[in-house]
Amino acid sequence: MDKTFSFKVKDELARLKLENLCCVRSELLGLLRAGAVLEVKQSGLQLIFTTESPSVVRRTFLLFKKISSLHIKISREPRRIHDHNLYSVRVDTQPGLKEFLIQLGFLKSDVYSEGTVMPRMECCRRSYLRGFFLGAGSITNPERSYHLELVTGNRRHATHLIRLCRGFDLRARRVERKDRQVVYLKEGDEIATFLTLIGAVTSRLEFENVRVIKGVRNQVNRLVNCETANLNKTVEAACRQLDAIRLLVAKMGLEGLPKPLREVARLRLEQPEATLKELGAQLNPPLGKSGVNHRLRKLEAMAAGLKEKGKKG
């Protein structure tokens, strides 16, 4: 299944260990505020939370179980959205539900108004953001653009989220979309920080890798002749390879190169900015990153050999 980046981040978050009880409460509070619907019936309250992510459903269930003895039902909904299955967590009318929600801060003592409590400790503020992201957050694939958002129908919650982000030096902004409040981050650095804050360490690394590769591409495009100092390692390597290949081609022509090296050399010349993985994928048969690296090193060694000869001659 080709998962979106949002799904990956949520999968990772959903697997984090449940630590301090204070944080479990804060995460559940964030998650419910982000996505739960409270129904007030004659018989009592009912809470329903739906999500497209099976891991988020599991997480929600575990959060509840860790701090309550409420009876929780998980199910797959008959309807689908955006071609994804929809899952729900249901807490039906039962003794203790209202008290639990009040204690959690989701409800004020009055059933009809939402609580306004905000977590204070740093560990809990992070957990709250994690919960909110699990419930109503999304992040675009960094290959496309940098955008992370939290959506809520509640203006006050949006203001709180912005304040929480500011507390971590993140300049979150707000925009209104239909009747919803969208709190978002646009800067790559800030999104990376946010991912770390909420505990998505692996996703942050993946995010950073994409950023580096994109940055390298831009750099190589700007510095085609590789004459500028202070290049980073990846650009430096690409430049070294290009120099070597140009020298070899000048001396012996592409045809003069052994066949396995010829294709790699041609691809590198045509695509100075491509990553090793991308180059390898275009070979027939395809070659992994280290295989491509090995061939490029051979080309460099050949070029170095030619240079040595030239000096002696």
Binding site for Zn ion (CB under 5 A): 20, 22-23, 123-124
* Residue 165 vs residues 21, 102, 161, 173: alpha-carbon distances, Å: 22, 25, 6, 10
Instruction: Give the CB-side neighbour count of residue 201, counting CA atoms within 13 A.
Output: 3
Q: Compare residues 20 and 228 and give the one whose CB is closer to Zn ion.
A: 20
Identify the CA nearest to 160 among candidates 191, 102, 114. 114
Q: Compare residues 17 and 259 and give the one whose CB is closer to Zn ion.
A: 17
Least separation, in Å, of the C-beta of 303 and Zn ion? 58
Angle between helices 5-14 and 54-67 (to 10 degrees): 30
Rounded CA gap, 62 and 9, in Å?
Answer: 18
Least separation, in Å, of the C-beta of 21 and Zn ion? 8
Rounded CA gap, 161 and 174, in Å?
Answer: 10
Q: Compare residues 24 and 244 and give the one whose CB is closer to Zn ion.
A: 24
Least separation, in Å, of the C-beta of 125 and Zn ion? 8
Rounded CA gap, 129 and 126, in Å?
Answer: 5
Q: What tokens appear for 123 in the block?
A: 């560990």
Q: Compare residues 126 and 204 and give the one whose CB is closer to Zn ion.
A: 126
Would you call 167 helix, strand, or coil by DSSP? helix
Nearest 5°: CA angle at 28, between 24 and 30? 120
Q: Compare residues 22 and 182 and give the one whose CB is closer to Zn ion.
A: 22
Q: Compare residues 22 and 223 and give the one whose CB is closer to Zn ion.
A: 22
Q: Compare residues 45 and 161 and give the one whose CB is closer to Zn ion.
A: 161
Least separation, in Å, of the C-beta of 19 and Zn ion? 8
Would you call 2 helix, strand, or coil by DSSP? coil
The stretches of the chain forming alpha helices (DSSP H) are 5-14, 21-35, 54-67, 97-104, 122-136, 155-167, 188-197, 201-222, 233-252, 259-270, 276-281, 289-312
Least separation, in Å, of the C-beta of 160 and Zn ion? 17
Nearest 5°: CA angle at 21, between 16 and 25? 85
Least separation, in Å, of the C-beta of 164 and Zn ion? 13
Strands in 73-81's sheet, in edge-to-edge order, are 36-41, 44-51, 84-91, 73-81
Least separation, in Å, of the C-beta of 299 and Zn ion? 54
Least separation, in Å, of the C-beta of 26 and Zn ion? 6
Q: Compare residues 66 and 173 and give the one whose CB is closer to Zn ion.
A: 66
